[in-house]
Chains A and B, each alone.
Chain A
Amino acid sequence: MSAYRITGETGEWEVIVGLEVHAQIVSQSKLFSGASAEYGGEPNTHVSLVDAGFPGMLPVLNRECVAQAVRTGLGLRAQINLFSRFDRKNYFYADLPTGYQISQFEHPIVGKGTVEIELSDGEVRHIGVTRMHMEQDAGKSIHDQDPTRSFIDLNRAGVALMEIVSEPDIRSPEEAGAYLRKLRQILRYLGTCDGNMEEGSMRADVNVSVRREGEEGYRTRCEIKNVNSVRFVMQAIEVEAQRQVDIWESGGEIDQETRLFDHVKSETRSLRTKEDAHDYRYFPEPDLLPLVIEQSWVDELKAALPELPEDKRARLEKEYGVSRYESGVLTAEQSVADFYETVARGADARLATNWILGDFFAALNRTGRSIEDSPVSAEALRELLALISDSTINGKIAKEVLEDMVETGERASVIVDRKGLRQVTDTGAIEAAINDILAANADKVAEYKSGKDKLFGFFVGQTMKAMKGKANPAMVNELLKKLLTA
């Protein structure tokens, strides 16, 4: 694939992107308190006095959040740090109750790792992960309820987040999109983050800089804060890179600053912060001990790790003979892969692949359902395919049966019996039907015999129609050939 370049007046520019992804850890309770971590809830109900920063309240670390962070690190094929530590990041804000965020600044729990991405042309690239750490989420300010006041809801305050920091290895909006989607896929496979961007479970800070083609080193970057969809991240990179190229080319300088992406206007703009606003005065959190975990625990978590997307993909290709493209679609979501395997295991894998990627996905689309609430279970679909394989019904009838299954929820065999769709393999019955058709269409028979081979399809169609579609197609073909040449 040709590299992504921005063409300026004075030449070609390369885009350098690094992403800091904040992903909410899936857990019952918060990182340091026993309040619910569930999304939503009435304002200030998922809040303990610890979360609200009452005097004398102390944090106690949630084991499952640590386990989730370790699983994620393993999923990113990253180094797991047996020693890590929490620090306080000090700043004042309305939705930060204690005046500091507990985060891991100096000693993160996860070190260097890598994410493999695949681009639309099939090119594979590896994006480095610098580090990943745990930290607390902040609460929410609501600005539109009162003319002079903002309202504070602390339900999110203290919910566990992972911050996954990439190396500046990303070179195009497409790569950024592929990286985010891949990351989301891995986290969802691991069950460590639900990846729900609408609910803010995943959001990204995007660091963008540009440099001339062939230039060494990096130029000043800008950080675009809190972008909450893959599409917006891609757009933001595009417009921010263009903005920077324009400035450099007109002889200007880029200020290192924080910017916001406005997707309505499709532009980024400076988030003007006061002088001195950023001196976070990090220091080790004295209310918590350093986090020391055992290698044996990491090993246990590793052994129990689900199969990761890349591994699953390779296995599906090997076990079921699916193509690279097909394996990509089938493993996009773990639930799809699970569904596929339930159907394909012990069945005709090719048939299963074609049916799931074809008629079954079409049925889901048509009904607006997802694989999790599919109207047809994997077992039911497998039964349908078994009926094709053992010639109980033919493929065409099977499509009709699937539609009926979607509608009624009945099993394939029940529908076949109810509607009398069982395939006719009685040669006598088929021969009788063929003879009637040949008799009624003597002119076409003559034409056929005089060389108009294409008419064979016409006779097949008429026969199937007469047989109400239930005739075994192979037998129809065979008998027609025999009788037409007789």
Chain B
Amino acid sequence: MSLDAKTVAKMARLARVGLSDEQVHTYQKEMQGIIGWVDQLNEVDVTDVPPMIGTGLAQPRLRDDQVTDGDCREKVLSNAPDREGPFYTVPKVVE
């Protein structure tokens, strides 16, 4: 499958990674190479093979419904780059 620059730019927007045009170009070449390499998976017959979801080793486990966490605002905000009182902040979001 071909991976063009437009697709790379689209992926960068989806992943919120700012890229210059030059970087888009560089990544396009590299990613094209990697995708070309992984395309060898098409050789494998996966008919009736279920996808592996987890390693199947652990037993499903459910937690009791009790309040055991939270109430730790200072920890929650301890690393915030732009804290305002009890809040995190972001540039104004207009809806």
Chain A: residues with CB nearer than 8 A to chain B? 27-29, 33-36, 42-52, 60-66, 85, 92, 94, 141-143, 145-154, 271, 276, 279, 281, 284, 286, 289-292
- Contact present for B87 and A142 (CB under 8 Å): yes
Q: Which residues of A contact B67 (CB under 8 A)?
A: 28-29, 34-36
Q: A61-B62, A63-B62, A63-B63 are in contact. Are A146 and B92 (CB under 8 A)?
A: yes
- Contact present for B61 and A42 (CB under 8 Å): no
Q: How far is the CA of A284 from the CA of B50 in the complex (A)?
A: 13
Q: Which residue on A lies nearest to B68, using beta carbons?
A: A34
Chain B: residues with CB nearer than 8 A to chain A? 10, 13-14, 16, 51, 53-54, 58-73, 75-77, 82, 84-95
- Contact present for A60 and B89 (CB under 8 Å): no
Q: How far is the CA of A268 from the CA of B78 in the complex (A)?
A: 41
Count A-B pairs with CB separation below 8 Å: 134
Q: Which residue on B lies nearest to A260, using beta carbons?
A: B95
Residue of A64, A65, A152 touching B87 (CB-CB under 8 A): A152
Q: How far is the CA of A384 from the CA of B51 in the complex (A)?
A: 68
Q: How far is the CA of A331 from the CA of B37 in the complex (A)?
A: 65
- Contact present for B86 and A63 (CB under 8 Å): no
Q: Which residue on B lies nearest to A28, using beta carbons?
A: B65
Residue of B58, B65, B82 touching A65 (CB-CB under 8 A): B65
Nearest 8 CB-CB pairings of A with B:
A35-B70, A64-B65, A34-B69, A34-B68, A63-B62, A151-B87, A48-B69, A152-B88
Q: A34-B63, A47-B76, A52-B76 are in contact. Are A149 and B69 (CB under 8 A)?
A: no
- Contact present for B69 and A151 (CB under 8 Å): no
- Contact present for A44 and B95 (CB under 8 Å): no
- Contact present for A44 and B87 (CB under 8 Å): yes
Residue of B54, B66, B72, B89 touching A151 (CB-CB under 8 A): B89
Q: How far is the CA of A60 from the CA of B87 in the complex (A)?
A: 26
Q: A33-B69, A34-B66 are in contact. Are A150 and B91 (CB under 8 A)?
A: yes
- Contact present for B71 and A45 (CB under 8 Å): yes
Given contacts A92-B16, A94-B90, A150-B91, 20 further A-B contacts (CB under 8 A): A28-B67, A29-B66, A35-B69, A36-B71, A42-B73, A44-B76, A44-B86, A48-B69, A49-B72, A142-B87, A143-B94, A146-B89, A149-B89, A150-B90, A279-B14, A281-B14, A284-B51, A289-B60, A289-B61, A292-B60
